[in-house]
Amino acid sequence: MYMHGRPAPLLADRGRADHPRATDRTEAPIRMRPLRPTALATALAAALTTGLLGAPTARADMGQCPPSHFCLWEHLDYTGRLYSSPASVSYIGAEMNDHPSAYWNRTRWWVTPFYDADYQGGCVMKSLGPGASFPRLPEDMNDVISSFLVTSSRIC
């Protein structure tokens, strides 16, 4: 690295009298420490946590479903991404659309899942009563939910 046509002084040279930032000869030179493996591990862990390297599929157990919500999990046995809402949802979004494989109705209401967005395409199954849960949707109901309606009575 160059500064004004000549090599820039190194930080380790600060203790020298001819260093541009030197204050006196008694100042000890600053020593650079090498990057430790733990610092690299910490940086890598932070990158994984923030999703920079892609988040692995984590176990999303039933305890992660908030009270008074209808929860859908991406994979069987309450694993993978978790989607939850306390109210009707006309489209569960591109990340979860046609992916739910498990559910838990923690609302006080009936919940009816639909094949298509905007509550179209017909009911995937009978309306789910309060407290209903299923860790493994049957093959014909697995990975097909796009929307769900929360109502005070059964629809299907």
pLDDT over 80 (residue 60): no
Helix (H) or strand (E) run with residue 38 in it: helix 37-49
Structure pTM? 0.60
Domain 62-151: CATH class, spelled out: mainly beta
Domain ranges of the chain: 2-49, 62-151
- The backbone region for 119, taken as left when phi is positive above 0, alpha when psi lies in -120 to 50, beta otherwise, is left
> How much is the mean pLDDT over the chain?
75
Query: 60 vs 82, which has greater pLDDT?
Result: 82
pLDDT over 70 (residue 122): yes
Q: How far is residue 68's CA from residue 9's CA, in Å, rounded to a whole number?
A: 63
Summarised one tens digit per residue, pLDDT across range 21-42 is: 544 445 444 444 444 554 444 4
SS3 call for 71:
strand
Q: How far is residue 122's CA from residue 12's CA, in Å, rounded to a whole number?
A: 72
| Contact between 141 and 122 (Cβ < 8 Å) | no
What residues does 39 pair with on adjacent strands? Answer: none
Helix (H) or strand (E) run with residue 103 in it: strand 102-105
| Contact between 111 and 131 (Cβ < 8 Å) | no
